[in-house]
Amino acid sequence: MIDHRRLGRELDLFVSDPLAGAGLPIWLPAGAAARHAVEEYVRELERRAGYQHVYSPPLGRRELFALSGHLGHFADEMFPPMRMGDDELLLRPALCPHHALVYRARGRSYRELPLRVGELGGMYRAERSGVLGGLARVRAISLNDAHNFCTLEQVGDEVREILRLIRQAHAALGVRPAGFRLSLRGPGARYVGDDASWARAEELLRAALDGVGHEEAPGEAAFYGPKIDIQIVDPSGRESTISTVQIDFDKPEKFDLSYTDAAGARQRPVLVHRSLVGSMERLFAYLIEEHEGAFAPWYAPVQLLLLPVDAGQSGAVDRVARRAVDAGLRVEVDAGGSLGARVRDAARRRVPYVGVVGAREAADDAVALRLRDGRSLDPMPAADAVRLIGAVVAARSAELLPAG
Ligand SMILES: [Zn+2]
């Protein structure tokens, strides 16, 4: 069975060192390069969709999380507080409290809504050590998160637009969702908010899912509202949530958020929590297993590995490498050992493009590309090879050759 922990080690993507602590993985350069490409993609997707990005710290005063309700409903999953003088500081279990303060940083008008506040931010869960494993369950989480503040009338369109962005991101990354789940209240009293608000929120989510096959899951709602969860399944059959859209009438109330409507009256916004691709940790645990480490070229750690046939081509290879780096590609040169061994190592590392430069190619400023799937292309000018790879990367295609 494919295990992202084993592949992560073989491909040098991340390491879990007991000295650093369980559930606190460290991203190595190859894993960090892939993650960086994914983060940039998601940020750009959001920017085009009208999101504004912020930075906020991963810890805050106890009072913040008491007000948000996390201490009341979520304390079991939070780390113990740290005393600092007269304050107690807590590692945050979610980004919403800080984003509510972004909203509250000044007065808001209906003209600013929907106000979409995005952040790839750190948060923490005090997971039991028995459940931790690789990147799939961690204690330090980097979440692709956003909070969209809008009017009640805007919620339906907002949720539909979020579902569209989720589908687009899944297509680019090669995520195959196992299903959509409408998570509703179940028996028990751990929920906040009144029945009418819950009923309204459930109705809005059901309407947004019209025509989308989904199951309903009583008892799976967040403590503050119902949600749409998009599920993935790992090779051992374990299901988890990768993307989510949640409606929340409660936090705007708790943080006393408001906007001025067209008539000048003070109104309460609705909060939509959403994540397009979940945490970077769980996303990569999934992607490593789903693609067996062979990521699409646009987020492959090394996109082009250059192999001089012998030392005579080192100058020519360096020139090709320079050209490719300047074009924005991630490039490495491997000059040591037999050519056969280096080609095999490139295949082991799932590098999408290997560029071989022998004496003839060096003389012509050319390169012979070998693709990860086994195909070889005739030698071509280095500029054309860089353009070819650049076109595939820019299209965020999973194919290794440009379309058409
Ligand atoms: Zn949130």
Q: Band the pLDDT of 305: cuts 50, 70, 90.
A: very high
CA of 157 to the centre of ligand 1 (A): 19
pLDDT higher than 80, residue 190: no
pLDDT higher than 90, residue 188: no
In a domain, 52, yes or no: yes
Which amino acid makes up residue 242? I
CB 23 within 8 A of CB 139: yes
Neighbours of ion ligand 1 (CB under 5 A): 96, 273
> Could you read off the pLDDT of 150-166 as tens digits, one per residue?
999 999 999 999 999 99
Max Cα-Cα span within the chain: 77
Q: Band the pLDDT of 87: cuts 50, 70, 90.
A: very high
Together in a domain, 207 and 343:
no
CA distances, 145 to each of 12, 56, 123 (Å) = 27, 12, 11
Phi/psi at 81 (5° precision) = -65, 155
Look up the CATH number of the domain holding residue 304.
3.40.50.800
In a domain, 97, yes or no: yes
Token readout for 114 is: 């929907």
Q: Is the N-terminal amide bond of 177 cis, ω within 30° of 0?
A: no
> Could you read off the pLDDT of 192-222 as tens digits, one per residue?
888 888 898 899 999 999 888 999 999 999 8
DSSP code per residue over 7-33: HHHHTT-EE--TTT-TT--EE-HHHHH
The mean predicted confidence, pLDDT, of the chain is 95
Look up the CATH number of the domain holding residue 22.
3.30.930.10
In a domain, 404, yes or no: no
Lowest mean pLDDT across 120-134, 332-346, 384-398: 120-134
CA of 98 to the centre of ligand 1 (A): 9
Q: How many structural domains does the chain have? A: 2
Provide the pLDDT for residue 5.
94
Provide the pLDDT for residue 131.
80
Q: Band the pLDDT of 123: cuts 50, 70, 90.
A: very high
Provide the pLDDT for residue 13.
98
Average pLDDT estimate for 63-83: 94
CB 380 within 8 A of CB 365: no
- The rounded distance, in Å, linking the Cα atoms of 115 and 96 is 14
- For residues 143, 48, 35 and 148, what is the CA-based torsion angle, rounded to 10 degrees? 0
Which contiguous run of DSSP H or E holds residue 332?
strand 331-333
Please say which residue of 290, 325, 348 terminates a domain: 290
In a domain, 400, yes or no: no
The proportion of the chain whose per-residue pLDDT surpasses 70, expressed as a percent, equals: 100
> Could you read off the pLDDT of 236-284 as tens digits, one per residue?
888 999 999 999 999 999 999 999 999 999 999 999 999 999 999 999 9
Together in a domain, 146 and 273:
yes
In a domain, 193, yes or no: yes
- The rounded distance, in Å, linking the Cα atoms of 151 and 167 is 24
CB 231 within 8 A of CB 242: yes
pLDDT higher than 80, residue 404: no
pLDDT higher than 80, residue 43: yes
Provide the pLDDT for residue 191.
84
Beta bridge partner(s), residue 347 = none
The proportion of the chain whose per-residue pLDDT surpasses 90, expressed as a percent, equals: 89
CA of 8 to the centre of ligand 1 (A): 29
How long is the chain?
404
Tokens 């920017």 belong to: 47
CA of 144 to the centre of ligand 1 (A): 10
pLDDT higher than 80, residue 224: yes
Please say which residue of 241, 257, 290 terminates a domain: 290
Tokens 């000018």 belong to: 381
Provide the pLDDT for residue 238.
87
Token readout for 351 is: 């590098």
Provide the pLDDT for residue 189.
62
Provide the pLDDT for residue 194.
83
CA of 56 to the centre of ligand 1 (A): 13
CA of 216 to the centre of ligand 1 (A): 21
CA of 274 to the centre of ligand 1 (A): 7
Together in a domain, 51 and 31:
yes
Together in a domain, 350 and 259:
no
Closest CA to 123 of 64, 75, 54, 59: 59
Beta bridge partner(s), residue 232 = 240
Together in a domain, 280 and 328:
no
Together in a domain, 322 and 261:
no
Together in a domain, 351 and 252:
no
In a domain, 402, yes or no: no
Q: Band the pLDDT of 187: cuts 50, 70, 90.
A: confident
In a domain, 362, yes or no: yes
Please say which residue of 248, 269, 290 terminates a domain: 290
CA of 96 to the centre of ligand 1 (A): 4
Average pLDDT estimate for 12-34: 96
CA of 95 to the centre of ligand 1 (A): 6
Domain coverage including residue 335: 297-394
Together in a domain, 155 and 217:
yes
Together in a domain, 238 and 324:
no
pLDDT higher than 70, residue 379: yes
Together in a domain, 115 and 43:
yes
Phi/psi at 128 (5° precision) = -65, 145
Together in a domain, 26 and 65:
yes
CA distances, 2 to each of 212, 234, 285, 352 (Å) = 30, 9, 11, 20
pLDDT higher than 70, residue 300: yes
Closest CA to 244 of 189, 165, 299: 165
DSSP code per residue over 39-70: HHHHHHHHHHTT-EE----SEEEHHHHHHHTH
In a domain, 372, yes or no: yes
Together in a domain, 311 and 281:
no
